Structure 1
Amino acid sequence: MKAIEIWDVSDHRFRALIEILSPLPSRIVTSAWEVSDFFHPDGSEAFFLGGGWHDQLDRLANTGIRVAGAELVEMARRSSQVIWGTFLRYDPVESDEPWIALHAIDSTFWRVETRDIATRQALMRTFTDVRLKQ
């Protein structure tokens, strides 16, 4: 999958999950999402939220349970900052491969992997500091 990185900040803070989800196509709410650790190339893995408290996303991480997109959006609205984590969107009628992967990386940037050109373009129109990756 091709990737972009979103390095935007808003009011000197890392972009929230809800801000990354908002420009995505409406089909995100009718699909299944899985929350898991971010797997770093050095072999380490982590799922961590800021704010020093746990929320629904934290309890959902690494359970293998998939939630409806509408439920993920609601959790994202109420969640604390995602410092490390991965969000995989699946379409049950298409394949077992995720359609999009959102990776929060060290409260620094979001890496978004998808084959969908329209989705990458929507994100590039929404955010100003977007970097294309291979």
Structure 2
Amino acid sequence: MATLRIYDLNEHVLALDLKDLLRLLAPRSLEANWIVSTVKLSKPEHEHFEATGEGGEQLEELAQGNARLSGSDLAALADNTRQVIWGEFVASAPTQLDKTWLIIRAVDSTFYEIDTDDETVLRKISSAYKDVRAGEAPITSWALDRPRE
């Protein structure tokens, strides 16, 4: 799978969120089946999911059980979420539940990571956002105790 990272900022804040990505990738994102889970880092005790707002609280609960939901249900929760800080969202096509189509990963409010082999998704991401960088591999480690500036 190819990995893209989106770093677009708006007034020093990440300029996109889960709801924006779901809208950009509609209608396929709305037709997909999704698993909501924590971001798993290299150390097993370091799994994170954090989101704010009413929808964010519901997403956090779902992530603890790796819950499955429809694309339209995920979009409704995302619309009711102020910000996804950490989270992983794995999509499969409605007819291919065992094959991953797309992974969206929010990483510490710093960037969104997209993993997919779908060339249409890669083109849409690259054309919709200004600061898109190729990732060598999906995020597995992150300095959780980074010094604050």
TM-score normalised per structure 2: 0.81
Aligned equivalent of 1:89: 91
Q: Percent identity?
A: 31
Q: 1:59–1:5: structure 2 CA closer, same or farther, 3 Å change rule?
A: same
Checking the alignment, whether the CA contact within 8 Å between 2:50 and 2:56 is kept in structure 1 is no
**Residue type of the partner of 1:26?**
P
Q: Secondary structure at the match of 1:79?
A: coil
Alignment of 1:1-134 (within 5 A): 1-14=1-14, 15-43=16-44, 44-50=46-52, 55-134=57-136
Structure 1: stretches of 5+ with no match in the other structure: none
Residues 36/13 of structure 1: CA separation in 2 closer, same or farther (3 Å cut): same
Q: Which amino acid aligns with 2:108?
A: D
Higher radius of gyration, 1 or 2:
2
1:81 and 1:68 mapped to 2: Cα distance? 20
- TM-score normalised by structure 1 residue count: 0.89
Report deviation, 1:22: 1.8
Counterpart of 1:9, as a letter, is L
Whether the 8 Å contact between 1:37 and 1:62 is mirrored in structure 2 is: yes
SS in 2 for 1:61: helix
Question: What RMSD, in angstroms, separates the aligned Cα atoms of the two structures?
Answer: 2.0
Moved over 4 A (4+): 51-54
Q: May I ask how many residue pairs the two structures share in their alignment?
A: 134
Distance 1:63 1:8 in 2: 31
Higher mean C-alpha deviation, range 34-43 or range 111-120: 34-43
Secondary structure (helix, strand or coil) at the match of 1:132 reads strand
Greater relative contact order, per chain length (Cα 8 Å cut-off, separation 6+): 1
8 A Cα contact 1:56 1:79, kept in partner: no
Q: In 1, distance between residues paired with 2:72 and 2:79?
A: 11
Specify every segment of 5 or more residues in structure 2 that has no aligned partner in the other structure, as ranges: 137-149
Instruction: Please name the residue that 2:141 is paired with.
Output: none
Does the 8 A contact of 2:105 with 2:113 survive in 1? yes
CA contact (8 A) 1:55 1:80 kept: no
Which residue in 1 is equivalent to 2:147?
A: none
* Pairwise CA distance, 1:90: 1.4
